[in-house]
Amino acid sequence: MAHQLRLLLAALRVYTRVPFIARLPGVTSDVATRAGDAIRYLPIAGLLVAIAQSVVYMFASIVLPHAVALLLAIGAGLILTGACHEVGWARFCTMLGERPAARSTNDDAIDSASASTALGWAVPGAVGVMLLLMLRFESLAHLDADWIAASLICAATFSRACAVLGSARASATDALIAMLLGAAPLALLALWTDDNLPGLLGLSIALISTALVRRLIRRSGAMHARASGDTAADNRSSTDPGIGAVQQIAEAGFLLGLLIALEAGPDDTVNTDDEMEPEE
């Protein structure tokens, strides 16, 4: 039990930027500081971040418009995570934008070419992060205010469970524990709304997005390794977890599924024209 608690604290330290976590006893031990051992509790880290975001939104929405409160909540999430997942997504977009370099014996020419294209490689990452943040904001902005807290919590926890599921460093036990933790808020959401469609649709799109990103990571990594003739890099590419990229796209996919389900739901609005017709 103590070992699992150390792993949980390690997950909070690795995947969040909460100041007091690093000062807790036992967090700096060799076992607890390895991200691979603590990855099973990544959904718990996401849950705490999402709860903090919900609190920020709740208080901000009292005096500020819906959209502004959402931006503050998203900003709070970026601060609490140190944008570590966004960095992984940016690297994924940069990897997709790179062209495999041909093998060359001139090291100076390679260094010069790498330096000249460094800015160009950074552009896909910046554009990808910007588009994903806009997609997340717009998805939340079109949800009713009563759904914001539940959406943030479910999206944050299950997307991180997807990241564990798509990680090569996670064992089968890690993936099972993470999926159980990530699916728990979805079960509560179904009980709260008495409707399984929003959670199931969000879950489905998140899992499809996870599989797609993992496939792109492996194909792109293998392509670059073959172009450079680096067999070791080819082996590494097949085991690169891409946690940040998977988490980001899974979270966006979950919010899109949730939005689609709610938009396609029954219309409870009242037809005022029918109300104004006199009774015969």
CA 135 to CA 174: how far, in whole Å? Answer: 30
Report the pLDDT value the prediction gives residue 164, as an integer from 0 to 100. Answer: 92
Element (H, E) at 123: helix 118-141
pLDDT tens digits, the chain, 280 residues: what are they?
777 888 888 888 888 887 766 566 655 544 444 556 788 999 999 999 999 999 999 999 999 999 999 999 999 999 999 998 999 899 888 887 666 554 444 555 444 444 445 555 578 888 999 999 999 999 999 999 999 999 999 999 999 999 998 887 788 899 999 999 999 999 998 888 888 888 899 999 999 999 999 888 887 764 444 444 444 443 333 334 478 999 999 999 999 999 999 887 655 444 444 444 555 4
SS (H, E, C) 61-113: HHHCCHHHHHHHHHHHHHHHHCCHHHHHHHHHHHHHHCCCCCCCCCHHHHHHH
Domains of the chain: which residue ranges? 2-102+115-264
Report the pLDDT value the prediction gives residue 100, as an integer from 0 to 100. Answer: 56
The answer to whether 234 and 218 have CB atoms below 8 angstroms apart is: no
CA 243 to CA 252: how far, in whole Å? Answer: 14
pTM for the structure as a whole: 0.79
